[in-house]
Amino acid sequence: MASPPVPGPPAPVVDVSAPIVAGAADRAEADAVVGAAAELGVKELSRHPVGHGRWLLQLAAPGRDQIGEAVAALRGAGFAVLAGPPTAGHTTVWARRNGPSWFAPGACVCFPWSPVDREAARLTVEIDPGAGFGAGGHPTTLGLLAGLVDPATAGAARSGPDPGLADADPGLADLTGRRVLDVGCGTGVLAIAAALRGADPVDALDIAPAALAATRANAARNGVADRVRLVDADLARCTGPYHLVLANIHADVLTAMAADLRRLVVRPGAPIEPVGPPRYRAAPDATAGPATARAAEPGARGDPPRPPRGEAPGPAAEPPPRPAVGPDPREPGGLLGVSGLSVAQVSRLEAALAPLRTVHRHHLDDWVTLWLRW
Ligand SMILES: C[S@@+](CC[C@H](N)C(=O)[O-])C[C@H]1O[C@@H](n2cnc3c(N)ncnc32)[C@H](O)[C@@H]1O
């Protein structure tokens, strides 16, 4: 009599209700993410070439409870993964919906899985949106990006006979070596776009540690980690000044920070200052520790040393003032770009920012972007 079959090891269970999506830059990265996922018990369900060498993968965690942990581990290993979408069948539809956002001719914000010809495009900012804070496609972000990257046509297409921002601000035409501050950097999309246009240094400030981490990762993804510096500081302690200050934040927050935004914009005829480590005022409360900035890639720049959190700053916390080279009569003064406001909120913010005056305003959907200068 034949003996009953010996049960083998249980078949691996894949819970398709525990989906994870991954983007890969090429086939090798697709294999690598699948390999790393397998070590976590995460299975590959499908993979699609989506064009221009990019891949989109649908994975499944062993159960819903493991999604967060698996996503965190894979993200920690440097892969662009997110929880969702709901089923493998929805993945391509989802990817199409989460496609690139074009904000100027040949210029877009895209995701790691976006089938965009990055070589042929004039400018692409690739954002891994995993940490949230806006992935670059919101009208308030696009409004600033349009002016930053294409001042000649910013707003012209949507606002009728608009001369574009370049006429109002020729300074934006060439950002090479200009100092830029991105207030509320989120995923770093504005800071990265400025750095890709040649700005150096670009200081990226946010109150959320996760935003600074996302900016660091995205700056590296776009090859500008040596120019984008993370500022772990309150805006009030930033000393600047900057040729260009960008802020896409809720209008009430912008109004509350108006005095600091104005103070940080270079004044016309300001002395030329050599680019050096960013300077900050000492913390009013020593227990708060010093405000610091650091390059997105550790060690890429000589930023001030950073004591561990909670430790009182030593006397070296305040870097010595940089020597000014002398007034530059050609310095036209810096520019402030603000976004995140409705039409009804414009006049209140303009009053708070005066005597900076609006030189260009453009509307995208229900949102307004303002560009102001001295
Ligand atoms: C609307 S998001 C903009 C993100 C990104 N700059 C963009 O344009 O997509 C606003 C960001 O401002 C940050 N934020 C809010 N209040 C802030 C403050 N007082 N100082 C610095 N950052 C702030 C938030 O953490 C968030 O990352």
Which residues 6+ apart lie within 8 Å of 226 measured at CB?
295, 296, 297, 300, 301
DSSP designation for 62: S
- Angle (CA) 109-199-201 rounded to 5° is 115
Whether residue 158 is found in the same domain as residue 274: yes
Kindly give the distance from the C-alpha atom of residue 257 to the centroid of ligand 1, in angstroms, as a whole number.
12
- Is 319 part of any domain? no
Residue with CA at minimum distance from ligand 1 atom 11: 184
Kindly give the distance from the C-alpha atom of residue 238 to the centroid of ligand 1, in angstroms, as a whole number.
16
Whether residue 92 is found in the same domain as residue 153: no
Domain end marker among 97, 132, 166: 97
- Is 309 part of any domain? no
- pLDDT confidence of residue 355: 96
Kindly give the distance from the C-alpha atom of residue 321 to the centroid of ligand 1, in angstroms, as a whole number.
29
- Is 314 part of any domain? no
Kindly give the distance from the C-alpha atom of residue 276 to the centroid of ligand 1, in angstroms, as a whole number.
25
Per the structure, the count of domains in the chain is: 2
Whether residue 191 is found in the same domain as residue 70: no
Strands 367-373 and 357-364: antiparallel
Kindly give the distance from the C-alpha atom of residue 181 to the centroid of ligand 1, in angstroms, as a whole number.
12
Q: Do 22 and 57 contact (CB within 8 A), yes or no?
A: yes
- Is 5 part of any domain? no
Residue 69: which CATH number? 3.30.70.120
Point out the ligand 1 atom lying closest to the alpha carbon of residue 141: 8
- pLDDT confidence of residue 170: 56
Q: For residue 268, say if its preceding peptide bond is cis, omega within 30 degrees of 0.
A: no
Whether residue 198 is found in the same domain as residue 235: yes
- pLDDT confidence of residue 89: 63
* SS3 state of residue 237: helix
Residue with CA at minimum distance from ligand 1 atom 13: 184
Whether residue 87 is found in the same domain as residue 198: no
Whether residue 77 is found in the same domain as residue 199: no
Whether residue 221 is found in the same domain as residue 353: yes
Kindly give the distance from the C-alpha atom of residue 248 to the centroid of ligand 1, in angstroms, as a whole number.
6
- Is 10 part of any domain? no
- pLDDT confidence of residue 313: 36
Domain end marker among 80, 97, 114: 97
- Is 274 part of any domain? yes
Ligand 1 binding pocket, CB closer than 6 Å: 133-134, 136, 141, 183-186, 189-190, 205-208, 211, 235, 248-249, 253, 340
Whether residue 257 is found in the same domain as residue 193: yes
Kindly give the distance from the C-alpha atom of residue 253 to the centroid of ligand 1, in angstroms, as a whole number.
9
Both structure tokens of 293 = 């900035």
Residue of 206, 244, 342 best suited for mutating to test ligand 1, as the one with most atoms within 8 Å of CB = 206
Cross-strand pairs, 57: 22, 47
Longest dimension (CA), the chain: 102
Residue 240: which CATH number? 3.40.50.150
Tens-digit pLDDT string for the chain (374 aa): 555 666 665 555 566 678 898 989 999 999 999 999 999 999 999 898 888 889 999 999 988 899 999 999 999 898 999 887 766 566 667 777 778 899 888 999 998 888 899 989 999 999 987 766 667 788 899 999 988 887 766 654 444 444 556 665 656 778 888 899 999 999 999 999 999 999 999 999 999 998 999 999 999 999 999 999 998 878 998 888 999 999 999 999 999 999 999 999 999 887 766 555 555 544 444 333 334 455 565 433 333 333 333 333 333 445 555 555 667 777 788 999 999 999 999 999 999 999 999 988 888 888 999 999 99
Whether residue 135 is found in the same domain as residue 230: yes
- pLDDT confidence of residue 169: 60
Domain end marker among 50, 80, 97: 97
Q: Show the domain range for 358.
A: 123-301+324-373
Strands 80-83 and 335-341: unpaired
Residue of 125, 207, 246 best suited for mutating to test ligand 1, as the one with most atoms within 8 Å of CB = 207
Whether residue 80 is found in the same domain as residue 134: no
Query: What is the rounded CA–CA span in Å between residue 71 and residue 229?
Result: 26
- Is 207 part of any domain? yes
- Is 90 part of any domain? yes
This prediction has a pTM of: 0.81
Whether residue 37 is found in the same domain as residue 86: yes
Point out the ligand 1 atom lying closest to the alpha carbon of residue 234: 20
Whether residue 243 is found in the same domain as residue 185: yes
